[in-house]
A and B are shown apart, each in its own frame.
Chain A
Amino acid sequence: MAPFTRCLLPAAVLLTLGLSAAADQLPPQLTYRTLPTQPFDAVRTADEAEKPAVQQRQRALLEERYDLSDRPTPNVMMSAGRKPVQGGVRVKLPRGATWESLAQMSPDDIRRSNLFPAAFLPLPHVKQATGGQVFPNNQIDEIAKQESRNLRRFDVDFDLPDRFTPEFPPPIFLSSHPELGDVSRGQLLTIKNYYALMIGLITPVQMEGLRLLLTPFPQEEFNQTEDRKSADQSLGVTCLDCHSNFSTNGAFHQTPDVRPQAARFRLDTVSLRGLFNQQIHGSKRSLRSVEDFSEFEQRTAYFNGDQMSAQRKGVNLPERHDQTAMMAQMQNIIDFPPAPKLDPLDRLDPSQATAEELTGERVFMGKGQCAACHVPVTAFMDNNLHDLKLDRFYPLGATVNGLVILPEGPIKTFTLRGIKDTPPYLHDGRLLTLADCLEFFNLVLGLKLTQDEKNDLVAYMLTL
C-alpha cells in the first residue's frame, strides 16, 4: 500500500465516525425522567389494578430461582438474637446439573450449554419500568406507628420473604462506646425517639448529624407532586429509612449510575456499619468520602441521579461545610457487631475458634482467594471496585422481568464483618444465604472447593 493512501485511511474513518457521532439520534427519555402524562388518580388506579400481576410475576421469578423455604441454621441467630440465619444453598440448579459438574466446566462451556444458574444473574427490581425505592413491611409499619409517615407504595410491595432480610430493628454498636454493646434498646431510631435514645451517648455534632439523617426529605416516589407512588402527599424519606439503625432493612432501589431504565440493575441497601474504615462509597461511583456521599445521595438514592427531577419535587442539599460534616461524624461512630473470636488483626483467635472455623479461615486466606479482596486487617474490604466478569457465563441482552441482562462492570468490594446480619447478599441481593455466596464464588472464580471446604467457610463467615 502506498504511503499516501495509508495516510488517508484514518482520516476517512474519522470522518465517518464524526458524522454519525455528531447526530442527536437518541431520544432524551433514555437519560432524563419523563413526566407523568396522566393525572395522579388515573395513574394510581392503573398501578393498583396492575399490582397483583406485578407481584405474581416477581414471585414466579423468585420461586423459579430459589428454594425459599424456612431452613434456619441451628443455633445461629443474628447479632441481636431476633432472627435466625437461614442456611443451605437456596439457588436452584439448572436441570441435569450439579454444583460439582458445573465447577468442572469452563465459563465458555457453561454459557454455550446455557447452564449458568438463573439466580446468579442480576435480580430484577419488582417493577423494573418504574423502579425506585421499595421498603420492607416491618419498616413501613414502624414508621407509620412512630411518625404517622407513609412509606407504602400503591404500585408494588417488597418482594423477598421476610426470613431472608436482616433482623428488625437491627442493634446499634457505637465505636465510641464499645463497653455498652447494643444501644438501640430494641427500638428503631426515628426522628421521634433519637434524642431520648442518644442523649448522653453522643456529642452535640453527632446528635445534629443524626437528626439530619432522620429528617424526611422529598424523594422520587415519596413527595408532594403527582409524580409519586404513595397514596397521600408524602413528607418524603430519611436516610435511615433504608439504613435502619445504621445497618440495613433490605430496602432496595436501582443503581442511579446507569441508563436507560431497562438496564438499571437493582441495589440492595448496604449496611453503614464500619463506615469509618471505608475509603470509597457507592457501589459504582467511588465517591471519596462519606461527606461527599451524604451530600450526593440527595441526587442519587433520592432522585435516581436526575437533578432536574430533584429540583421539581423539592431538593434538599445539605450544607457542605457544616451539615454533611455532622452527618459524617455520626455515621463514622457506627461499629460492626462484636466478633469475639477475632483477634486485634481480625484473624481468628485459635483459643476461641473451633477446628471447623479455623479450617474455614485457612481456605478463606488460601484456596478460596476470598482475602484477595476481603482483606481481614482492612475490615474485610480492599477499597477497590472489581469486575467479576460474570458475562463470561451468559449471553448478553436477554430480558428478565423488564431488566436487560448486561455486564455489570466493576462493583465495590463490600465488607464481610457482621455479614450474617445482612442478607440478602451481593450488591443486588441475588444471593439469599452465605452458602449461596460460596457456590457463586466457587463457580465465578473457578475455585473447585470441596463440600467440606465450603462448609468450613460458612462456619468461618458466621464468626465475622
Chain B
Amino acid sequence: MTRILAVCGVAALATAAPALAQQAGLGNPATTPAGTSEGGRGIPAAREPNDTDRIFTREVLIGGRAEVMFGKLAGERAHATAVKQFAERMVQDHTRSGDDLLNLAQAANLPVPEGLDRDHRMIRDELDKLNGAAFDDAYIHSQITDHQQTVQLLEFEIGSGQDPAVKQFAVQALPVVMRHLQIAQFLAAEREGVASRINPERDGNALR
C-alpha cells in the first residue's frame, strides 16, 4: 500500500507565490457592488467583499468544517492505513485553512455559517452508518466529489471575488486542494484496482 503521509500542504504552494498581492486586487468592475470604496485607482479597497466572496466563504467554511468532521470520523473508522493517513491529512490541512478563512471572514465582516449544510449532513448520516471497507469506499468517494466542488469554488473566487485577502486565500489553497483531489482519486483507483494509475505523491516536494 502506498504511503500517504499527513503533511503540511503549504509546501506545494511554493510555485504560486510570486506577485500574489499584486494580482489579487484587479478584477472586473462590472460586478463590483455599487458604493464600494476604492483602495487604488479603480481597485476596490481591502475588506470590501462582493457576493462572490460571501458565497465562497460560506461554502468553503462549511465544506472545510465537514472535511475536519469526516476526517476525524475516518480516523476512528477507516479500515485501510492509507485512508486513515489521508483522513489525518484532511483534518490537519482543513483545520488550518478553516481557521485562516474564518479570520479573513471576520475581518471583512462576512457572515459566518453555523454547522453543516444539508448536503454535508446527508454525507455525514451516510458515513455514520458504515464501517470497514464500505466506510473507506464511501468516505473516499465523498472526498472526491467534495474536492471537485471545492476546486470549482476556489476558481470561482479567483475569477469573481473582490476582497484581495479572500482571493489570495483561494489562490494559495487551490494547488493544495488539487493535490488532495489527486490523492483521493489515486486512493479510489487503487482500492478499485483500476488498471493504469500514477501515484500523485511521487513528487518529493509534497511529502515534507
User: Which A residues contact B (CB, under 8 angstroms)?
Assistant: 1, 5, 8-9, 12-13, 15-17, 19-21, 23, 25-27, 29-30, 34, 36-38, 42-43, 45-54, 57, 60, 108, 111-112, 114, 127-130, 155, 227, 260-263, 394-399, 401-402, 404
Q: Give the top 9 A-B pairs by smallest Cβ distance, nearest first.
A: A49-B42, A50-B42, A262-B159, A46-B29, A397-B175, A397-B178, A261-B159, A397-B174, A49-B41
B119 near A: Cβ within 8 Å?
Answer: yes
Contact B30 A260 (CB under 8 A): no
Q: Within 8 Å CB of A60, what residues of B? A: 19
Instruction: Tell me which of B25, B122, B160 contacts A20 (CB under 8 A).
Output: B122
Whose C-beta in chain A lies nearest to the C-beta of B132? A5
Q: Within 8 Å CB of A34, what residues of B? A: 30-31, 160
Q: Within 8 Å CB of B42, what residues of A? A: 45-51, 53
Interface residue total, chain B, C-beta cutoff 8 A:
62
A15 to B123, CA, bound (A): 9
B2 near A: Cβ within 8 Å?
Answer: no
Contact A129 B27 (CB under 8 A): yes
A-facing residues in B154-181 (Cβ within 8 Å): 155-156, 158-160, 171, 174-179
**Given A25-B149, A108-B203, 7 more contacts at CB 8 Å?**
A46-B32, A50-B26, A50-B43, A262-B155, A395-B15, A395-B175, A399-B16
Q: Within 8 Å CB of A9, what residues of B? A: 133-134, 137
- Given the known A-B contacts A108-B203, A397-B174, are A37 and B159 also in contact in the complex, defined by CB atoms under 8 Å? no
Contact A12 B175 (CB under 8 A): no
A21 to B23, CA, bound (A): 33
Whose C-beta in chain A lies nearest to the C-beta of B176? A397
Q: Within 8 Å CB of B103, what residues of A? A: none
- Given the known A-B contacts A108-B202, A114-B15, A401-B23, are A20 and B138 also in contact in the complex, defined by CB atoms under 8 Å? no
Interchain nearest-CB distance for A374 vs B (Å): 28
Contact A37 B126 (CB under 8 A): no
Instruction: Tell me which of A19, A57, A130 contacts B30 (CB under 8 A).
Output: A130
Q: Within 8 Å CB of A108, what residues of B? A: 202-203
Most buried by A among B12, B30, B123, B204: B30
Q: Mark B1-37, 1 if CB is under 8 A from A, else 0.
A: 0000000000010111001101101111111111000
User: Which B residues contact A (CB, under 8 angstroms)?
Assistant: 12, 14-16, 19-20, 22-23, 25-34, 38, 40-43, 52, 55, 59, 118-119, 122-123, 126-127, 130, 133-134, 137-138, 141-142, 145-146, 149, 151-153, 155-156, 158-160, 171, 174-179, 182, 202-205
A155 to B31, CA, bound (A): 14
Contact A260 B175 (CB under 8 A): no
Secondary structure at chain B's binding surface: helix, strand, loop or mixed? helix
Q: Within 8 Å CB of B137, what residues of A? A: 9, 12-13
Instruction: Tell me which of B123, B159, B204 contacts A112 (CB under 8 A).
Output: B204
Whose C-beta in chain B lies nearest to the C-beta of A20? B145
Contact B41 A399 (CB under 8 A): no
- Given the known A-B contacts A114-B15, A399-B16, are A37 and B156 also in contact in the complex, defined by CB atoms under 8 Å? no
- Given the known A-B contacts A53-B43, A111-B203, A130-B30, are A261 and B160 also in contact in the complex, defined by CB atoms under 8 Å? yes
Q: Within 8 Å CB of B160, what residues of A? A: 29, 34, 129, 260-262
| Subset of 13 A-B contacts with CB under 8 Å | A15-B126, A16-B127, A19-B119, A20-B119, A30-B152, A34-B160, A36-B31, A49-B43, A50-B26, A227-B30, A262-B158, A396-B182, A404-B174
Q: Within 8 Å CB of B31, what residues of A? A: 34, 36-37
Q: Within 8 Å CB of A21, what residues of B? A: 145
Contact A16 B149 (CB under 8 A): no
A21 to B34, CA, bound (A): 35
Contact B29 A43 (CB under 8 A): yes
Interchain nearest-CB distance for A454 vs B (Å): 28
A60 to B146, CA, bound (A): 36
Contact B142 A16 (CB under 8 A): yes
Q: Within 8 Å CB of A54, what residues of B? A: 26
Q: Within 8 Å CB of A46, what residues of B? A: 29, 32, 38, 42
Q: Within 8 Å CB of A47, what residues of B? A: 29, 42
Instruction: Tell me which of A50, A51, A227, A398 contacts B175 (CB under 8 A).
Output: A398
Contact A19 B123 (CB under 8 A): yes
Whose C-beta in chain B lies nearest to the C-beta of A40? B30
- Given the known A-B contacts A16-B123, A399-B23, A402-B158, are A114 and B32 also in contact in the complex, defined by CB atoms under 8 Å? no
